[in-house]
Each structure stands twice: as structure tokens, then as C-alpha cells.
């Protein structure tokens, strides 16, 4: 079996891996940034390539013995370029945040003005949030969503016209509608800004043809590889034809920013796993998968709303749903996360537009369908899961965090104990287990 050697060498670590496997198999993973890779991707990620140092790029390494690593990295890069229809791709970034940081330093200088969606409105830390190094190094001007939860494009244009940013981000972590690339492109062209699309959440949907591609409209595309793309935990930076026309040295600048600017030796096992995932994403079956992800998300959102749960923008265009719990009360996200966890459903608490509480105790939760869809679930299961979610969420509507911060931890400990004994939560957990067992995960891996 896949973990036999770990079992023999380190029973303690093996035990934790085995427990995590059981948790994934017997529950519903609904965090929209999580997915299940194929066995092939996992095997590449755990391959002998982890042994090799390969600082530099194919044909330009600081170490010898890289002839096969060069072929693997070139293969991954070429597959990325073909899949996303771009002339340049760097597959070395360790993860999404370093990839985004590399783009900053390839295009901007410290102090330059940049724009990105406000974190509490669904943006990402690395798009200029104040506690991120990006918000501390650059002059960040955030834009926002309107009361209906949709991007305020009038505000974006106004802020860009007034502040003349060097770079504008379009891309989000908690925005359930299709990204308006074309509208952002016009704003960037009118103000002279570089436009960068962070498609970490929707890369698989773009590859599968169920979300508009940013490539025609932006200069640079960044993405992680482990969300809807269903690959390992890595990232890529791609420059479009439009980006090359704006600066034909842009690809070289990004290369230099990654190494020697930011990173050392690339994670070759990760690069190989990205190559495998990109090949999988180019298959007709992946297009069917991406299409089903969106169908499932729409069905799940509809089920939630039919069962009395409010969703931001009243639905979704993508894989992601943002639930607004304020009809029950403010700051209930942490209670919802804990209650659903007790029922075997994994979600994450999340801020909502106009958040009345705080990012630490927000008033929403974020849901997604990539992992459920990988297991083979479809619309009928989404209907049932929507009802289960609604039933559990209604169990927390009378909760309220203490005003005294010192009492919160004690209150939450008491809540966790009580919610595990809640009859509705127990019933939901039994149903979750039944659904999970009907859609087994990783039959090839020892689970007993």
C-alpha cells in the first residue's frame, strides 16, 4: 500500500496520516480552496525528485545532474502554456503568495501604488491587505463590493483614475460571481496600469472552459495549482501576449525575481506533480468535471436558499458560495464552522461584505464543491447536503459571543462540548457518513 514504508519506519506519523485519511473519507470537504488530487499526482509529489537541488532554470542550473529535472520542468511549463494559451509560464513558485510577491517585484518598486479587492470584501491578503507585506511595502488602494455583493466597478474606475496605480489585481478568495476581466481591462488600459489576474480559485474552471479566461484581457496571470485545478500545492506565473507586448522583458523579469530574487532550489517533486495535473486537466474528462463543479455549486446554493439560508449575491457562478449568517446574528461564523465540523462537514468561517463583526469572528462561512465533485457527487447529493447544512446552521442561531474577549475561549469550549451532543447535529453526522460511504475516496490506499 502507499503508506507501508511510513508505517514501518514511523508508526506515530503513520497513525496521524491514517487518521487524516479517515477524516477525509468519512466527511464532506467543502472548503472551496481544497480538493483531492489523483493518486498519480500524489505519487509524483512523493517521488525521488525530492532528492535533487536544481537552482536556476532548464539549461541554466547552478548544480549538475539536472538533465531529467530540466525535461520535467520544461514539460510542466509547456503544458501550462498550451492549456492556458500563454507564451510564458514559470512553474517554480512554492505557493500562491510567493508567486504574487514575485509579480509585485517584477513590475513595481516599493512605494508604488497598487489596487486589489479589500480583504473583508472577499479579496486576498497578498492583494495589498494592510497586515500583509504587500500592503506594507506598496501604497495599497483597496476597492470594494456594493451592497448586493457585486464588484463596484464604478468605484474601481474612480480610484484608478484618481490614483494611477502601477498594478491592479483582479481575483478573489470569497467572491461567488464570474470575474469581470473585460471591464477591468478597460480600466487598466485607460489608466496605464498593469492588470494581473489571480485565478487561484478558478484555474480549473478556466481550464475546463466553464469560466471566462483572463488571458485575452490581462498582462499577467497567477494561480495556485491545488484548488479547482486539482494538482499539488504549488503555483504558476504566466505572462500573456498582451503582457509581452507591454513589456517584452516581463517573463525574464519574473524569472529573475523568483530565482535568485526570492527562492532557492525549486521543489522538483512539486513541479512533476504539476506536470501530471496539467496533463489531467487537458483531458475531456476534466472539462466534464469542471462543468459539474459549477452545476453542483448552483444546485447547492439553491438548496440552501430554499431551506432558509442567505447567500451573498443570491447564488453563484463558480465553485464557491458565501453564506451570510446575519439573519441569525452577527459573528456566528465560528459557531457555524464548529457545528458543521461536529457533523462531519468541513467549511471555513469568512467575512461577508459590510462585515458587522471582525475577521476573527466573522458573520459568514465559505462553501465550495470541488472536492465533493471529485468524489462523483452530483445535483441530488447537493440538494441533500444543502438541507443538512441548513439544519445544522439553524442550531447556532441563538449563540452570541461574550463581549469580554477573555471569556470567549471559555464560551467556545463549552459550545464545542454542547454542539457535539446536539441531536440534530448527530443526525446530520450520520447522514454525512452515509453519503461519504457511497462515494469512496482513494480505494487504492489502505484505510483500515
Of 174, 145, 122, the C-alpha closest to 368 is 174
Is residue 53 part of the annotated active site? The answer reads yes
What is the rounded distance in angstroms from the CA atom of residue 160 to the CA atom of residue 181? 15
Which of these is catalytic: 73, 118, 198, 337?
A: 198
Query: Angle at the Cα of 334 (from 99 to 412), degrees rounded to 5?
Result: 130
19 to 4, 161, 340: CA distances (angstroms):
15, 53, 19
Distance CA 179, CA 192 (A): 20
Grid coordinates representing 117 are 479587492
- Reply yes or no on whether 224 is catalytic: yes
Centre a 10 Å sphere on the Cβ of residue 426 and count the other Cβ atoms it contains: 14
81 has catalytic annotation: no
Catalytic residue among 79, 227, 230, 366: 227
198 is known as an active-site residue = yes
Q: Which of 52, 157, 212, 233 does the annotation list as catalytic?
A: 233
- Nearby residues of 229 by Cβ (< 8 Å), 6 or more positions away: 203, 204, 207, 223, 277, 281
Active-site choice (3, 14, 53, 94): 53
Q: Which of 224, 240, 271, 346 is catalytic?
A: 224
Number of C-beta neighbours around residue 83 at 10 A: 19
DSSP 258-319: IIIII--S--HHHHHHHHHHHHHHTSHHHHHHHHHHHHHHHHHHHHHHHTT-EEGGGS-SSS
Phi and psi for 128 in degrees, rounded to 5?
110, 15
Residue 3 annotated in active site = no
Task: Give the active site residues.
Answer: 53, 55, 198, 224, 227, 233
Amino acid at each position: 500500500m502507499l503508506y507501508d514504508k511510513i508505517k514501518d519506519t514511523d508508526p506515530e506519523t503513520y497513525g496521524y496520516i491514517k487518521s487524516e485519511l479517515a477524516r477525509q473519507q468519512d466527511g464532506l470537504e467543502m472548503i472551496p480552496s481544497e480538493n483531492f488530487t489523483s493518486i498519480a499526482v500524489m505519487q509524483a509529489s512523493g517521488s525521488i525528485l525530492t532528492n535533487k537541488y536544481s537552482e536556476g532554470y532548464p539549461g541554466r542550473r547552478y548544480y549538475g545532474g539536472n538533465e531529467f529535472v530540466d525535461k520535467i520542468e520544461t514539460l510542466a511549463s509547456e503544458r501550462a502554456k498550451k492549456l492556458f494559451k500563454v507564451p510564458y509560464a514559470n512553474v517554480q513558485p512554492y505557493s500562491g503568495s510567493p508567486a504574487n510577491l514575485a509579480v509585485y517585484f517584477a513590475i513595481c518598486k516599493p512605494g508604488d501604488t497598487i489596487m486589489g479587492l479589500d480583504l473583508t470584501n472577499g479579496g486576498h491578503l497578498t492583494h495589498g491587505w494592510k497586515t500583509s507585506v504587500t500592503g506594507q511595502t506598496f501604497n495599497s488602494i483597496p476597492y470594494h463590493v456594493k451592497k448586493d455583493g457585486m464588484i463596484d466597478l464604478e468605484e474601481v474606475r474612480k480610484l484608478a483614475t484618481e490614483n494611477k496605480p502601477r498594478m491592479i489585481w483582479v481575483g478573489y478568495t470569497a467572491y461567488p460571481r464570474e470575474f469581470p476581466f473585460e471591464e477591468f481591462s478597460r480600466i487598466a488600459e485607460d489608466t496605464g496600469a498593469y492588470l494581473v489576474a489571480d485565478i487561484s480559485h478558478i484555474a480549473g474552471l478556466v481550464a475546463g472552459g466553464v469560466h471566462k479566461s483572463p488571458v485575452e484581457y490581462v498582462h499577467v496571470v497567477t494561480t495556485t495549482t491545488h484548488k479547482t485545478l486539482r494538482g499539488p500545492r504549488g503555483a504558476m506565473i504566466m505572462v500573456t501576449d498582451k503582457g509581452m507586448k507591454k513589456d517584452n522583458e516581463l517573463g525574464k523579469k519574473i524569472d529573475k525575481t523568483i530565482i535568485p530574487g526570492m527562492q532557492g532550489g525549486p521543489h522538483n517533486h512539486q513541479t512533476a506533480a504539476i506536470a501530471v495535473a496539467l496533463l489531467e486537466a487537458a483531458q475531456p474528462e476534466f472539462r466534464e468535471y469542471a462543468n459539474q463543479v459549477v452545476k453542483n455549486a448552483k444546485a447547492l446554493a439553491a438548496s440552501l436558499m430554499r431551506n432558509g439560508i442567505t447567500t451573498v449575491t443570491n447564488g453563484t457562478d463558480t465553485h464557491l458560495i458565501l453564506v451570510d449568517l446575519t439573519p441569525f446574528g452577527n459573528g456566528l461564523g465560528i459557531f457555524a464552522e464548529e457545528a458543521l465540523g461536529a457533523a462531519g462537514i468541513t467549511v471555513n468561517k469568512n467575512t461577508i461584505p459590510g462585515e458587522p463583526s471582525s475577521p476573527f469572528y466573522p458573520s459568514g462561512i465559505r462553501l465550495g464543491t470541488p472536492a465533493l465533485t471529485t468524489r462523483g457527487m452530483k445535483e441530488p447529493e447537493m440538494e441533500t447536503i444543502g438541507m443538512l447544512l441548513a439544519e445544522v446552521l439553524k442550531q447556532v442561531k441563538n449563540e452570541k459571543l461574550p463581549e469580554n474577549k477573555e471569556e470567549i475561549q471559555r464560551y467556545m469550549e463549552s459550545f464545542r462540548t454542547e454542539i457535539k451532543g446536539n441531536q440534530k447535529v448527530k443526525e446530520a453526522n450520520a447522514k454525512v457518513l452515509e453519503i461519504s460511504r457511497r462515494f469512496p475516496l482513494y480505494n487504492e490506499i489502505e484505510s483500515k
